[in-house]
Structure 1
């Protein structure tokens, strides 16, 4: 009986530890915005890096981008505005530890926050 109890406890601990390694959320999507030092049509340019810090790929990454504007065109394969949300890389997967970059020009910079994604492989 004691052996069975030890085995059940070991399985429970292993399940909890494994879940902790792949437990991903929107908090694993980090967005950094820095000024490039350039001006486009009189507006400061901002370089944005979106990084997936999850151990699993994430797709359909959507950012809140209410009021987003730019005088510099952004590659639509990387960033597309649709209402108050923006879709990254056409909804394709951003692999674990991978980043995607784009730039825009406007003042002031926009607060871009992750609002949705689909997690794969966890």
Structure 2
């Protein structure tokens, strides 16, 4: 199936001729030939517009049941390709707020067994850290509903549960130079993960 679109791009004021070829065997891929002599930057093409005038991908409906993005990757100055990116596969990425140069995904929570045994239970060490140099993460809360340990944890490191969440380090900022570490003892590791945080960038 071939779709022919022609028009004048308001941004460039030049005539554009698009021809897209959709392969029924691979409906997730759309190849578009661009007949202008040069393409200066990567743009996104929407079937709702006849021109490459969008710097951000425009949402379009590619079937009766799924909405997707058509995203452009420049192959060379005469040619580019458009790929259909399903919303489901990028939903988490788009949902992450960005603050300056850091994201919530730059806050890491890892844990490992120490090899020690405390009151017959395996000891685990939890580290909450970030590799982001420009921002810090104050007010971190982790899920702790149902958490139990036979090894006491100082409440200045892991606060008491409130609504199934525990405040880490009394809310002090976690930065690349100031991670937070605590230990607990349990038969199995507890699935801690950060639920809430703020991001402050310098």
Q: Secondary structure at the match of 1:90?
A: helix
Normalising by structure 1, report the TM-score: 0.75
Q: Is 1:92 paired with 2:172? A: yes
Change (3 A) 1:68 1:21: closer
Q: For 2:136, which of 52, 57, 73 is the aligned residue?
A: 57
Give distance in 1, aligned partners of 2:172 and 2:178: 12
Q: Is the deviation greater in 97-106 or in 40-49?
A: 97-106
Q: Which runs of 5+ in 2 are unaligned?
A: 1-97
Larger radius of gyration: 2
Q: For this pair of structures, how many residues does the alignment match? A: 103
Q: Is 1:29 paired with 2:115? A: no
Normalising by structure 2, report the TM-score: 0.47
Q: Secondary structure at the match of 1:96?
A: coil
The structure where helix makes up a greater share of residues is: 1
Residue 120 of structure 1 is matched in structure 2 by: 200
- CA deviations on 1:24-58 (whole Å, 9 max, x unpaired) are 33211111111011111111000111102333011
Give distance in 2, aligned partners of 1:21 and 1:73: 35
Q: Which runs of 5+ in 1 are unaligned?
A: 1-19
Q: Which structure exhibits the higher relative contact order, with contacts defined as CA atoms closer than 8 Å and separated by 6 or more residues?
A: 1
